[in-house]
Structure 1
């Protein structure tokens, strides 16, 4: 194998890498089963948490440290947090829309 050939294992790892986003410092954020405070809390994120956003969808308007938004982030199947508590660097969608 020459030095110019790509390592397919390295490429696969890079392709599967996902961005982690920081939850607002000093907040323990409720994770809900849907995109609204009407849905039950399924767990609470610890202080200093980071999350991977698999998809995003519109839901209830929420005000938080990163503004007021109706975007909710899916961080696992059946687990949503308001984007108002996640430092994505954007006021819009940063992941595909949830089905």
Structure 2
């Protein structure tokens, strides 16, 4: 899997983290301004941290799944967003424009 921080050209660097190779048609949603959000192995804080998202990043939401209820800048939610294989963030930190599901439920 390619590193998300890696960019091969000035044009890609100018676009920042909003566009990654092979994901041009994927909608990306901003993480709440001023937050570095922990990415977890599953839908709850009891799951291990995979990485921490930097400030100002946008993420693709491939599917969503119910889990631990978390309060964040966008309210309280039990919805967790799958942003990559085995990587979840609480929807309470992602500006999707909805309090409900905006993607299919994860299997």
Normalised by the size of structure 1, how large is the TM-score? 0.83
Unmatched 5+ stretches in structure 2: 1-23
Counterpart of 2:50 in structure 1 is 42
Q: What is the root-mean-square deviation of aligned Cα atoms in Å?
A: 0.8
- Secondary structure, aligned partner of 1:84: helix
Shift of 1:18: 1.3
Determine which structure has the larger strand proportion and give its number.
1
Normalised by the size of structure 2, how large is the TM-score? 0.77
Aligned residues: 84
Corresponding residue to 1:18 among 22, 26, 40: 26
Corresponding residue to 2:72 among 64, 68, 82: 64
Deviation per residue, 1:27-57 (Å, 9 max, x gap): 0000000000000000000000100000000
Distance (Å, rounded) in 2 between the aligned partners of 1:49 and 1:83? 14
Counterpart of 2:8 in structure 1 is none
Corresponding residue to 1:29 among 37, 40, 52: 37
Regions of 4+ moved over 4 Å: none
Deviation per residue, 1:5-25 (Å, 9 max, x gap): xxxxxxxxxxx7111000000
Corresponding residue to 1:73 among 66, 70, 81: 81
Q: Does 1:93 align with 2:101?
A: yes
